[in-house]
Amino acid sequence: MNAVIFGAPGSGKGTYASRLQAKLGFDVIAMGDIFREIMKEDSPFGRKIKGYVEKGLLVPDDVVVEVLKKRLSEVPEGRGFLLDGFPRTVEQAKTLEKIAKIDVVILLLVPDWIIVERLSTRRICKNCGAVYNVRFLKPKVEGVCDKCGGVLYQRSDDTAEVIKRRIEVYEAQTRPILRLFKEAGVPFAEAGCDALDTPPEKVVDVILKELKQLNLA
């Protein structure tokens, strides 16, 4: 199964993708994580990407597509993948149609107020990338990753001002992609939450139920 998980920044794409990977066994291709690794290299390319990300802007399409093609070539034949963070523009979606077949769009429906609260209180492990939240998904020891003992940090773009800008960019440039998938006949598996403390497992169960109804899980 080749899938795209779709939703506004902070809707839980990374959290649900990792849990779905454990249950379904596909490769998760998280473009945000890939670019953060590139930024750590402190190369001219890394600094260029960092400039876009810290302002809450989208990385240019040609750069994103080049990185994506390389990552797709590394997926073992027959395993399938889930794209997290791509496509984010109409042009990216049109390019995706040419380079990969998408079987389903997993659509997350989350109110803006939950997104702002969730992202502004998010913490991430510097070592393994595990995601926590200081309000409702706390680590056992404050500031320390449960999985590997790494240090937890707050991303520079997880501030209220940048988050609101990211939501605006999402609404203006990314939402129209849904129409393209629908027009192409790609089925949708929808799941959402209306409470800040909704357990991730509850949302994952809804997604799995939707996928089973589509004979994809």
Q: Tell me the Ramachandran region of residue 101: left when phi exceeds 0, alpha when psi lies from -120 to 50, beta otherwise.
A: beta
- First and final C-alpha spacing in the chain: 8
For residues 38 and 66, is the Cβ–Cβ distance under 8 A? no
- In this prediction, residue 35 carries a pLDDT of 85
- In this prediction, residue 88 carries a pLDDT of 80
Query: 10-residue block means of pLDDT along the chain (217 residues)?
Result: 90 90 94 85 85 81 88 91 89 92 94 88 91 88 95 89 86 87 95 86 95 91
- In this prediction, residue 48 carries a pLDDT of 85
For residues 21 and 79, is the Cβ–Cβ distance under 8 A? no
- In this prediction, residue 80 carries a pLDDT of 94
For residues 152 and 143, is the Cβ–Cβ distance under 8 A? yes
For residues 45 and 38, is the Cβ–Cβ distance under 8 A? yes
- In this prediction, residue 61 carries a pLDDT of 87
CATH architecture of 2-111+161-213: 3-Layer(aba) Sandwich (3.40)
- In this prediction, residue 151 carries a pLDDT of 97
User: Catalytic residue numbers?
Assistant: 13, 88, 122, 155, 166
